[in-house]
Homo-oligomer: A and B are copies of this chain.
Amino acid sequence: MAAHVTLTDEQRIDWLRLIRSDNVGPRTFRELINHFGGARAALDALPSLARRGGAAASRIASREDAERELAAARARGVTLVALGEPDYPARLVMIDDAPPLLAVRGEHSILTRHLVAIVGSRNASAAGMKFAARLARDLGNAGYGIVSGLARGIDAAAHRASLETGTIAVLAGGHERIYPAEHVPLVEEIVPNGAAVSEMPLTWEPRAHDFPRRNRIISGLSVGIIIVEAARRSGSLITARLAGEQGREVFAVPGSPLDPRAEGVNGLIKQGATMVTEAKDVIDALAPIVGRGFDLPIEEPERDGPAAAAEPSEDERGRIVALLGPSPCSIDDLVRLSRSSPAIVRMVLLELELAGRIERHGGGLVSLV
């Protein structure tokens, strides 16, 4: 797949089936597409791969389910934008677990603008919300789209202050399960000039672990991320860590050491986050990055034809499985220690993943579940 092509309706249904099948996350999706050259071939291979990985039966999303989801989305005004399509957010492509399909409601043009995330405590102080609003307004006027997580407190203040200049709410659940429910009207205010986006099915009820998962999209969309108030061990700090791992600029707004809501942000500044006391701090720091434009990912997510078949022998599979454990280990190490080819190792990992036996981490690390 070259950059900026558009999927056919058939392809979009295949993509949706593949990402909605058991044990297929964004990283596995990319592996499968890269290996088999397309979603259709990957779907065909799924049952035997999962079986070889040791799964009894793995659910594959049906064509009917996918068609029903697409129709429901269309009825809601939600479009499924695929990785590589023109409307897919350019920076999000660069993270290794980018959602293959992003369900977008609203004004698509905001997705390809330069974006800055503003996040922070749900139980924010009045001063924190006021400052978040000021930053969002000033950065919006400077041309940035404002990304946040639609939570109470800092997130809502950032969205509200950038309704006119454009803001993106990244949802942890589906478009029909807005959380918190009191922010359903806020989404309606966001979509005329901005967007709500989700990688989950329309009716997905967000659970605790969907929030950190969502946070990687918040930072992945953005050039930089600003943490406004955050206690020690808060979700915003997880977002900050993810953002750092993704190579995004991390900014933090300082506060008094006597304010527990400032513990997290002050800690970030000690660890090297850029201190923000006005929008100019952010604009100045991002100017050289934004000026460079986007880097395209080195590896294209799809190839024209299917790859040469890589059929691991029982012996090879056993050797690779034996090397795995609960601690994450690198794929490079597996290749080296198993004396198998990279293609064989990747295939065995795919099988194990589809059987739900391994987990993929960032940086090319895998571990047994």
CA of A255 to CA of B258, assembled, Å: 9
Query: Which residues of chain B have C-beta atoms less than 8 A from A266's C-beta?
Result: 254, 275, 277
User: For the complex, is A256 an interface residue (Cβ under 8 Å from B)?
Assistant: yes
User: For the complex, is A278 an interface residue (Cβ under 8 Å from B)?
Assistant: yes
CA of A255 to CA of B131, assembled, Å: 13
The 8 A CB mask of A253-284 against B (1 = contact, 0 = none) is 11111110011001101100001111001000
Contact B269 A257 (CB under 8 A): no
Query: Which residues of chain B have C-beta atoms less than 8 A from A276's C-beta?
Result: 257
Shortest Cβ distance from A270 into B: residue: B275
User: For the complex, is A298 an interface residue (Cβ under 8 Å from B)?
Assistant: no
CA of A68 to CA of B244, assembled, Å: 67
Contact A254 B262 (CB under 8 A): yes
The 8 A CB mask of A156-170 against B (1 = contact, 0 = none) is 000000000000000
A266 → B minimal CB distance (Å): 5
CA of A131 to CA of B255, assembled, Å: 13
CA of A259 to CA of B259, assembled, Å: 13
CA of A269 to CA of B274, assembled, Å: 10
CA of A155 to CA of B262, assembled, Å: 24
Contact A256 B258 (CB under 8 A): no
CA of A257 to CA of B265, assembled, Å: 13
Query: Which residues of chain B have C-beta atoms less than 8 A from A267's C-beta?
Result: 277
Can you list 6 A-B contacts (CB < 8 A)?
A: A131-B258, A254-B254, A254-B257, A269-B269, A270-B277, A270-B281
User: Contacts A127-B256, A257-B276, A267-B277 given; 11 further ones with Cβ under 8 A?
Assistant: A127-B258, A128-B256, A254-B257, A254-B266, A255-B256, A256-B256, A256-B259, A256-B262, A257-B278, A269-B269, A270-B281
* Chain A positions near chain B (C-beta within 8 angstroms): 127-128, 130-131, 253-259, 262-263, 266-267, 269-270, 275-278, 281
